[in-house]
Amino acid sequence: KTYRVAILGATGAVGTELLELLESRNFPISELKLLASERSVGRALKFKGENLVVEPVSDRALENLDLVLASAGGSTSKKWAPVAVEKGAVVIDNSSAFRMNPEVPLIVPEVNPQAAASHQGIIANPNCTTILLAVAIWPLHQVKPIQRIIAATYQSASGAGAKAMAEVKTQAAAILQGQEPVAEVLPYPLAFNLFPHNTPMNNFGYCEEEMKMVNETRKIFGTQEIRISATCVRVPVLRAHSEAINLEFATPFSPDTAREILSHSPGVKLVEDWRANHFPMPIEATGRDEVLVGRIRQDISHPCGLELWLCGDQIRKGAALNAVQIAELLVEKNLLKSAQAYISQ
């Protein structure tokens, strides 16, 4: 069986990666539509050697589709995802618009694939930082429940889109030529700098990105019991995020046991060469499917604490790959049926 697929936001950082992954993973496609804003009219992108012309998203463009992979921002998803569902498609949405909606499954295929069965047309792809964390710590949580997570993130420019990535390069070039860097997409110069994540703050002093890690991790893990606190920071890296993670359990968790578990966990690659001081790095995570994990060690400040360090490609596993894996899961489980099909069952 093959499917009629559209990428909404096809010209963006995640959209172009979705296009590449649908091709390289040979997703069963009978027809592929590339949708973006009016700004992209006339652009063409290559898929399987063919030039596909980008169309502006509209009611008509969303007709006769089985699957829409959306990555065009929250307001675009809020507007168009319900339209696509109403017209019979299943939407896998990369924005935060529907993630915390109790009727919308929020899925990391390595963690909670079973949640896909209850979808009613929209499935949400989690926040990038949350996905990388979830893949790395779920196997440990399975063995011994995690009680508390303290995270510090080092997030790449790609999380703010293709324009932000281009801006960092331009800023770096300007600085190297002795000029002032210009920040238009990002709030401050990121090249040779870093700043706390630029999403709105709540009354407790946590930004939206930090609260996504708290709320989404709990939803994906299916528990409200885990206590989580995060500090999210943007760093001048192009497309892979890093995270320093402290986990607390009820009883000690030996680093060797954690290492053994993570050495054969799906979606994880252990990168630990203590002698050479070689651990996960964004440049080595870039373009890779796995979350790289290393520096697993006992927390010397707490007998039941475990420290680890991870890096993962934000555009790939943090966004596009996870979305394509959800699509593959739907195909495999015969769940790529429109909401209408469920209602009429």
Residue 165 · residue 158 · CB < 8 Å? yes
Inter-helix orientation angle 208-221/128-143, to 10°: 40
19, 32, 36, 107: which one binds ligand A2P (CB under 6 A): 36
From the list 34-42, 149-157, 228-236, 324-332, the region that binds ligand A2P by CB under 6 A is 34-42
Half-sphere exposure of 299 (CA within 13 A, CB side): 20
Six-digit token string for 280: 């996960």
Name the one residue in this structure whose structure tokens are 């578990």: 261
From 5, 9, 121, 325, residue interacting with ligand A2P (rule: CB under 6 A): 9
CB of 101 to ligand A2P, least distance (A): 21
With CB under 6 A as the contact rule, the residue among 150, 162, 166, 175 that binds ligand A2P is 162
Asked if 252 interacts with ligand A2P (CB under 6 A), we say: no
Contact 6, 69 (CB under 8 A): yes
The radius of gyration computed from the CA coordinates of the chain, to the nearest angstrom, equals 20
The type of residue at 292 is: L
The answer to whether residue 227 forms part of the interface with ligand A2P (CB under 6 A) is no
In order of 71, 76, 111, 149, the CA distances from 171 in angstroms are 26, 29, 38, 35
Task: Please report whether residue 139 would count as binding ligand A2P according to CB under 6 A.
Answer: no
User: Does 311 participate in catalysis according to the annotation?
Assistant: no
333 lies in the binding site for ligand A2P (CB under 6 A) = no
Closer of 10 and 306 to ligand A2P (Cβ): 10
Other C-beta atoms lying within 10 Å of the C-beta of residue 170: 15
Is 264 catalytic? The answer is no
Which entry of 119, 128, 197, 232 is annotated as an active-site residue?
A: 128
Q: Give the nearest distance from C-beta 227 to ligand A2P in angstroms.
A: 32
Residue whose C-beta lies closest to ligand A2P = 12
Q: Map the footprint of ligand A2P across residues 10-29, applying CB under 6 A.
A: 10-13, 15
Closest distance to ligand A2P from the beta carbon of 326 (Å): 19
Q: Which residues pair with 288 in a beta bridge?
A: none
Write down the residue that tokens 């390289």 correspond to.
Answer: 24
CB 111, CB 138: distance < 8 Å: yes
Q: What 8-state DSSP symbol labels residue 239?
A: S
> Quick one: which segment of 157-165, 168-176, 255-263, 292-300 binds ligand A2P (CB under 6 A)?
157-165
Q: Which alpha helices (H) appear in 144-285, and where do they start and end?
A: 162-176, 208-221, 255-262, 282-285
Smallest gap, in angstroms, from Cβ of residue 155 to ligand A2P?
14
Residue 185 or 233 having the CB closest to ligand A2P: 185
Which residues lie across from 31 on neighbouring strands?
A: 4
Interface stretch with ligand A2P, choices 22-30, 155-163, 171-179, 235-243 (CB under 6 A): 155-163
Q: How many whole angstroms separate alpha carbon 14 and alpha carbon 20?
A: 10
Site string for ligand A2P, 113-132 (x = CB under 6 A): --------------------
Binds ligand A2P (CB under 6 A): choice among 18, 21, 45, 57: 57
C-beta of residue 98 within 8 angstroms of C-beta of residue 81: yes
Q: Taking CB under 6 A as the rule, which mask of x and - marks residues 67-86 in contact with ligand A2P? A: -----xx--x----------
3-state SS class at 18: helix
β-strands 50-56, 67-70 pairing? unpaired
| 166 is a site residue for ligand A2P (CB under 6 A) | no
Per rule CB under 6 A, count of chain residues that contact ligand A2P: 17
Rounded Cα distance, 246 and 241, in Å:
17
Catalytic positions are: 128, 241
Residue ranges that bind ligand A2P, judged by CB under 6 A:
9-13, 15, 36-37, 39-40, 57, 72-73, 76, 161-163
